[in-house]
Every structure is written in structure tokens, then in C-alpha cells.
A = this chain, B = another copy of it.
């Protein structure tokens, strides 16, 4: 290919944002928008097609790759938290301050809200085809679960709260392990590995609520669904259910991250620069 003038570089010279906060806001908003726009569309394809196309494995791998690429795109501009629980974990680590955490969470929640709006618009015809144009939150024509989580019938509020602590805790635990520099995982593999963590959680702790484990991905879309579905999205199955996927992930992430450090991270040696693992020589 001949080396010619690149239009993206020309535009970059004019439009580059140098303000750190604005850059973070744009990045986290855009990343979480992409994550939710893609992820909620996966849910739509699972629910509206009643398993003909997407099965549970598609939901698991689809969301996993949505994480992989949303993180990969935004890792260098904002660290790609894309999840208030992860931002809160970094806050407890002392990696970001309180104000910065609020910027992250605001951008993420706005991204989740608009991601839900995007999916509602995109699959408007498919939703109409499914429910005959009459929106229902749950039941046989219910479609609100495309956007926000609703618990299985057997699941109590306590069960839902615990579920979100455990699910987000495992996410935070393994994210902390993967990014710990002492574990020497190459940084270009971080995003793909996060995707694997999501597959794992979906196969193990997805039965009660569908593993939202991200307040921006649950509260943002739930707020949007007030418009098409009414305020019932905050009162089904109970007036306080929504608290579980909104607040339990924060607790879980802090718990999971510090648990990793308590059992493993604190005790790791600093890596020695080496080129080759020596072979044990027979005496």
C-alpha cells in the first residue's frame, strides 16, 4: 500500500481532546454504550427468538466478546472500567479518587441508558412482532428482561442480593488477578481474558438473575424502560428488588478484589526479569 495522507490523522490533529476528565467521560460513556447496546441485543435475540437462534451458550459468548471489544477499544483512554462496581473497586484500591469515580459512574450509567434506547429502537419491529405491540414486563409476552434483570420465581431478595455479591465478586477477583503486574499476564491479553471470566460466570452464577453484575448495565436500562413499560419496572417482582443489582455489585467488587489480594496478591514475589525458564538439571 502506498503511504498516503491519512484523513484520520488530519482530523485527529484538529479534534483531539486533551482534557483528561472529558476524555475519560467520552471513553467510558462510549464503551458502556457499546457494551449495553450489543449485550442487550443479545438478550433480545435470546428472548424474542425463544431459543431458535441464541441459546445460553450464545448469550455467554456473545456478552463475553462484547466485553472483550468494548474494553479493548477504551482501555488506553480510560482504563475501560465500563462498570461502576469495577470503578468502586479501584476507588477502594486508591487508584482513583472519589470525584473521578463519580465521573466514571455517571458516564457508564448514561451509556447504559442510551444503549437500552438504541436496542429498543433497533428491535422495535421484532418486539412488536413478539408481543403484538402491547408491552408487558414479565409473563409469556414480557420483554422487559431484554433490558434489566428480573429474578427467577424461587429467588428471594436476600438470594438476589447474595447472587450479585458473589457474581460481581468473582468478576472483580479475577480482574484483579489478571491485571496484577506481578502475575505477568501480557496486557494485550487482558481484554480477551475478561471475556473468558464472563463466560465462566454466565455458566455458573447466571441462573438466579442472569448475571447483570454491573449497575450501569442494569440501572441505566431499567431507567430507560420506564418510558415504554411504565414504573412497574421498579416494582416487579417487588418494590425493592432493583436494589440488589444496583448496590450489591459495589459490595461484591470490593470484597472480591480484596479477597484476591488477601489470599494471593499480597504474597506474590516481585518478578525477576528472565528470558528463559531454566530446566531442572539432574544431579
Residues of chain A touching chain B, judged by Cβ–Cβ distance below 8 Å, are 1, 3-13, 15-18, 23, 26-27, 29-30, 34, 38-39, 41-42, 44-45, 48-49, 52-62, 65-66, 68-69, 72-77, 79, 92-97, 122-123, 125-126, 128-129, 152-156, 159, 162-163, 166, 170, 173-174, 177-178, 181-189, 192-193, 195-197, 199-200, 202-208, 258, 260-270, 273, 276-283
Determine which residue in A58, A128, A153 has the highest number of CB atoms from chain B within 10 A of its CB, and name it.
Answer: A58
Taking a contact as CB atoms under 8 Å apart, the answer to whether A44 and B188 are in contact is no
Provide the bound-state CA to CA distance between A177 and B70, in Å: 10
Cβ–Cβ contact B77 & A264, under 8 A: yes
B197/A6 in contact, CB under 8 A = no
Question: A38-B170, A68-B200 known; 18 other A-B pairs, CB under 8 Å?
Answer: A4-B280, A5-B283, A7-B92, A9-B281, A13-B282, A15-B262, A16-B266, A18-B267, A27-B267, A38-B200, A45-B203, A45-B204, A66-B204, A72-B185, A122-B166, A125-B155, A181-B277, A188-B189
Q: How far is the CB of A18 from chain B (nearest CB, A)?
A: 8
The docked-state distance in angstroms from the alpha carbon of A96 to that of B269 is: 20
Contact B60 A58 (CB under 8 A): yes
Name A263's contact: one of B27, B186, B266 (CB within 8 Å).
B27
- A134 CB to nearest chain B CB (Å): 15
- Give Cα A154–Cα B135 distance, bound, in whole angstroms: 17
A155 nearest CB neighbor, chain B only = B125
A69 touches B199 (CB 8 A): no
Contact A5:B174 (CB < 8 A) given known A27-B263, A68-B196? no
Docked pose: A92 CA to B9 CA in angstroms: 12
Complex-state Cα separation, A44 to B207, whole angstroms: 9
Contact assessment for B178 and A62 in the assembled complex, using a CB-CB cutoff below 8 Å? no
State whether A276 touches B69 (Cβ < 8 A). no
Measured between C-beta atoms, what is the minimum distance from A163 to chain B in Å? 8
Given contacts A53-B206, A62-B203, A267-B26, contact A154 B126 (CB under 8 A): yes
